[in-house]
């Protein structure tokens, strides 16, 4: 059914076409309007009507414009002089009187009598209105009556048919009627619709002039439908005739389309030899660019400019200059145009935009005896000639965005122009869930809330999905589209049970299921377009599944400490909070002094989780909480051997997902988790207990990590209880340095020293030789020269050989099993502490 109350505003785009026979200085045919309400028709100034009348010439060829609508007020004083016989298709025995008002609105814009001292003025004084009533009083009507109305107009002498109404669906029947009008040289002008979506039919058919609406600031009204079928824009807000002999303000693409139809009547009145295609093309090429130069999907070819339509010369090829990719003419991906190649060396470049991935189809039909090669920017090309026919388009796969195509003569030596017709179309991509047209081929979706996007890439396409639920819960399904050409239907069925079909919106819109209680099992979801809507369709649907499982906590009951679930180390546990007062207790045991690590993950980010740690006597040892917006809570604590408890609680219940708890423990030796079993464990423990050394604050000693010069000086200062110090003069050790005082004490005691360049290099790694020297100085050893070097890699000329001879002889140092000492290698923290322990225990 056609519902004009739902018809979207049509955005009108004008192609500028000019005939060389146009006269530049013709005698004016019409004088400015003196009608009393002309002052309210400010929209006429936007389309330059007064200037157009001055340029209309002396031709007053009458043009019959058929208004296929709700009828016309046949007694309206401002219309009665410009009406011809029409038809009432609903009640053939009755006159086509308007019982809604919409048709009267449309008629007044075109042909309200000019300068009759009444009301308003119509745009085309040479137009005669043929009222054809095809719609009911409530603005609804069927596809059959619409087609019948167009055919009646064509068969009874109308040159222009204005259609301020529309359907979302494509129709083979209506397409044939539109072609019938084109074949009989009748121009169809149609509104695009007012729903901020795709252009409606019949405006969307390639040979119909699709009109949208602009606001007074010449910007597209956001309600005006748009897309690749849009041709022209005209004013959205108007003042026009009303049913009952009155006048009223109206708006919408329904009001924009009649203005273009009236402009066509003026052009055809001045140039009666033009064809319907030429009139359509002339209006398009003379339009005022709005957003971009040339055509675009938001404003088509631009704003109707009647003055230029009557004065600009008609161009057989309106797209020139387009000889290179930089001059490529923007072309809709659903259109039919005419142009020419001026010679064998001429090239015509076109830019075609695709709103989705898919395929562009291109028809090229040169005139008899010519042959054209079309080459896409992807490198694909094809050759077309009149003999090839025009039934098989060339198809090239494209991604979303712009595609370029070059047309050129196969005969590069041709001297004369080669006329051609060019048609484009677009087929949307096949979604990744195909082949899923049958229930047994259903595409399986994961068990979770999700949104997927799909397409109807061919006629009769159905998309089946399967959802296997392992948990009871609730589910809601929402199906929406980004185009009015899809009227979605939703089917939901649990395997083995009766299916439910949801088509509440009936004519497009969003389909939403009720919130459903679901049990474990397999569910089928079918997404389809209503049977009256053909495919393929350029547009996507969005299937949103909102699934909330009712998860069962496997640890319940564990609301009390004596019901605590035992949690083994390195194992995972899951749970939920089924009410606000719910708490979950867990028990764990440590067989020795250990560092206990607690890790909680998968917390809903909208919730705060609290964890309280207790000992076996239920004395609180600490409370921890997750950060706002975080899905984790982690903490660690050193604990003695024994039994411990963790109590978990959320600030608000949740059952849509399960938190995960994992406990880990690491044995502690002297407060460290990384020295158990280490060869230097004894020395590290002794030095730690004596307060000489410490770890890194994370229960790590890092025994195999290299020790820095600052760390070594600090350890020596603490171990030897140094107290005296002098001011340091090293350029790289400021007074604020963390080791300043201990370095100063070690320097004062002549245990450490800097480098000749005045630096100390506190963060530099201590070598094994520097370590031996520091400890030797701590024991007042000066070294000896007698005897041979005790290590194979320490020569007699090495600067520290004396120290190593003395310390080796006295048993303070030993090398590696291969007889080397490796004096320049970095000393580890374990090596340094072990040697220091020997010095202290001597």
What residues act catalytically? 69, 102, 254
Decide: 38 and 120 in contact? Cβ < 8 Å.
Answer: yes
**Peptide bond preceding 557 in cis form (omega within 30 of 0):** yes
Residue 241 to residues 35, 251, 614, Cα–Cα distance (Å)? 13, 13, 85
**HSE-up (13 A, CA, CB side) for residue 744:** 16
Compute the Cα dihedral for 158, 160, 161, 167 and give only its sign.
positive
Q: Where are the beta strands (DSSP E) in 441-503?
A: 443-445, 450-454, 462-469, 473-481, 488-494, 500-502
State the pairing for strand pair 462-469/450-454. unpaired
State the pairing for strand pair 473-481/450-454. unpaired
**HSE-up (13 A, CA, CB side) for residue 123:** 37
**Peptide bond preceding 321 in cis form (omega within 30 of 0):** yes
Which residue shows structure tokens 């290590």? 791
Judge residue 666's burial from the number of C-beta atoms within 10 Å of its C-beta, 0-12 exposed, 13-18 middle, 19 or more buried: middle
Judge residue 593's burial from the number of C-beta atoms within 10 Å of its C-beta, 0-12 exposed, 13-18 middle, 19 or more buried: middle
Count, in order, helices (H) and strands (E) of the chain: 14, 41
Which residue shows structure tokens 């019901």? 563
Decide: 420 and 408 in contact? Cβ < 8 Å.
Answer: no
Q: Measure the CA–CA gap between 94 and 641, rounded to whole angstroms.
A: 102
Instruction: Give Cβ neighbours of residue 636 (< 8 Å, ≥ 6 apart).
Output: 595, 596, 597, 598, 699
Rounded to the nearest angstrom, the gap between the alpha carbon of residue 194 and the centroid of all alpha carbons in its chain is 24
Phi, psi values for residue 807, rounded to 5°: -70, -35
Helix (H) / strand (E) element for 54: namely helix 49-54
**Peptide bond preceding 536 in cis form (omega within 30 of 0):** yes
CA angle 42, 46, 52 (to 5 degrees): 105
Decide: 502 and 511 in contact? Cβ < 8 Å.
Answer: yes
Instruction: Give Cβ neighbours of residue 173 (< 8 Å, ≥ 6 apart).
Output: 143, 144, 147
CA angle 756, 781, 746 (to 5 degrees): 50
Q: Measure the CA–CA gap between 104 and 109, rounded to whole angstroms.
A: 9
CA dihedral 268, 288, 107, 242 (to 10 degrees): -160
Rounded to the nearest angstrom, the gap between the alpha carbon of residue 227 and the centroid of all alpha carbons in its chain is 18
With b for 16 or more beta-carbon neighbours within 10 A and e for fewer, the 159-184 pattern comes to bbbbbbbbbbbbbeebbebbeebbee
Token couple for 427? 């087929």
Q: What is the 3-state secondary structure (H, E, C) of 733-796?
A: CCCCCCCHHHHHHHHHCCCCCCCCCCCCCCCCECEHHHHHHHHHHHCCCCCCCCCCCCCCCCCC
Residue 513 to residues 38, 308, 480, 519, 542, Cα–Cα distance (Å)? 52, 53, 12, 16, 14
Token couple for 172? 């083979």
């Amino acid at each position: 059914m056609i519902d004009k109350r739902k018809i979207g505003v049509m955005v009108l785009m004008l192609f500028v076409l000019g005939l060389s026979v146009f006269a530049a200085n013709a005698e004016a045919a019409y004088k400015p309007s003196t009608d009393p309400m002309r002052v309210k028709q400010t929209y006429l100034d936007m389309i330059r009507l007064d200037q157009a009348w001055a340029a209309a010439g002396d031709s007053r060829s009458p043009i019959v414009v058929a208004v296929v609508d709700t009828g016309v007020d046949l007694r309206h004083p401002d219309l009665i002089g410009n009406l011809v016989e029409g038809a009432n298709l609903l009640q053939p025995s009755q006159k086509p009187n308007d019982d809604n008002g919409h048709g009267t609105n449309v008629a007044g814009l075109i042909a309200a009598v000019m300068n009759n001292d009444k009301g308003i003025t119509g745009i085309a004084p040479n137009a005669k209105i043929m009222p054809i009533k095809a719609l009911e009083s409530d603005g609804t009507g069927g596809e059959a009556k619409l087609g019948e109305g167009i055919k009646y107009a064509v068969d009874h002498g109308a040159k222009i048919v204005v259609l301020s109404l529309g359907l979302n669906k494509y129709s083979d029947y209506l397409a044939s009627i539109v072609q019938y009008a084109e074949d009989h040289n009748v121009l169809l002008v149609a509104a695009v619709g007012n729903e901020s979506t795709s252009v409606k039919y019949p405006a969307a058919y390639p040979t119909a002039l699709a009109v949208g609406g602009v606001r007074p600031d010449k910007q597209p009204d956001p309600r005006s439908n748009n897309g690749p079928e849009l041709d022209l824009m005209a004013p959205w807000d108007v003042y026009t005739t009303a049913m009952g002999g009155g006048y009223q303000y109206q708006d919408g693409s329904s009001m924009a389309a009649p203005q273009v139809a009236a402009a066509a009547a003026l052009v055809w009145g001045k140039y009666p030899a033009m064809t319907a295609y030429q009139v359509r093309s002339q209006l398009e090429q003379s339009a005022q660019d709005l957003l971009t130069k040339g055509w675009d999907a938001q404003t088509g070819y631009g704003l109707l400019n009647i003055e230029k339509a009557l004065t600009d010369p008609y161009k057989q090829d309106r797209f020139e200059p387009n000889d290179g990719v930089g001059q490529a003419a923007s072309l809709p991906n659903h259109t039919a145009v005419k142009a020419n190649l001026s010679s064998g060396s001429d090239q015509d470049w076109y830019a075609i935009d695709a709103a989705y991935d898919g395929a562009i189809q291109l028809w090229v039909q040169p005139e008899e005896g010519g042959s054209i090669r079309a080459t896409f920017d992807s490198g694909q090309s094809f050759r077309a000639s009149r003999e090839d026919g025009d039934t098989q388009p060339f198809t090239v796969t494209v991604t979303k965005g712009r595609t370029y195509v070059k047309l050129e003569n196969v005969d590069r030596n041709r001297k004369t122009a080669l006329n051609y017709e060019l048609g484009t179309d677009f087929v949307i991509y096949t979604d990744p869930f195909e082949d899923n047209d049958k229930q047994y081929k259903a595409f399986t979706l994961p068990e979770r809330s999700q949104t997927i996007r799909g397409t109807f890439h061919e006629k009769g396409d159905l998309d089946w999905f399967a959802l296997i639920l392992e948990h009871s819960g609730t589910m809601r399904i929402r199906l929406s589209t980004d185009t009015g050409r899809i009227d979605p239907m939703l089917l939901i069925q649990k395997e083995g049970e009766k299916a439910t079909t949801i088509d509440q919106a009936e004519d497009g819109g969003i389909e939403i299921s009720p919130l459903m209680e679901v049990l474990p099992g397999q569910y089928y979801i079918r997404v389809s377009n209503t049977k009256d809507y053909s495919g393929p369709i350029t547009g996507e649907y969005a299937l949103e599944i909102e699934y909330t499982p009712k998860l069962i906590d496997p640890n319940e009951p564990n609301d009390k400490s004596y019901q605590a679930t035992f949690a083994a180390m390195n194992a995972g546990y899951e749970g939920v909070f089924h009410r606000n007062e719910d708490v979950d207790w867990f028990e764990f045991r440590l067989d020795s002094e250990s560092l206990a690590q607690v890790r909680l993950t998968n917390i809903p980010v909208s919730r705060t989780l609290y964890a309280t740690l207790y000992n076996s006597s239920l004395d609180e040892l600490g409370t921890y909480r997750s950060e706002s917006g975080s899905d984790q809570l982690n903490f660690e604590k050193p604990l003695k051997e024994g039994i411990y408890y963790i109590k978990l609680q959320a600030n608000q219940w949740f059952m849509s997902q399960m938190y995960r708890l994992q406990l880990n423990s690491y044995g502690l030796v002297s407060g460290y988790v990384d020295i158990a079993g280490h060869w230097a464990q004894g020395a590290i423990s002794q030095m730690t207990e004596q307060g000489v050394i410490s770890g890194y604050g994370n229960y790590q000693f890092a025994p195999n990590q290299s020790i820095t010069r600052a760390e070594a000086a600090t350890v020596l200062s603490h171990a030897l209880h140094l107290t005296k110090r002098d001011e340091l003069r090293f350029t790289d050790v400021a007074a604020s340095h963390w080791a300043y005082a201990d370095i100063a004490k070690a320097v004062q005691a002549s245990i450490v020293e800097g480098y000749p360049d005045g630096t100390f290099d506190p963060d530099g790694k201590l070598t094994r030789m520097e370590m031996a020297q520091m400890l030797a100085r701590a024991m007042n050893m000066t070294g000896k020269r007698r005897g041979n070097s005790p290590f194979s890699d320490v020569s007699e000329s090495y600067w520290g050989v004396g120290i190593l001879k003395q310390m080796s002889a006295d048993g303070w140092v030993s090398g590696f099993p291969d007889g080397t000492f490796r004096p320049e290698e970095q000393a580890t923290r374990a090596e340094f502490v072990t040697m220091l322990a020997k010095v202290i225990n001597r």
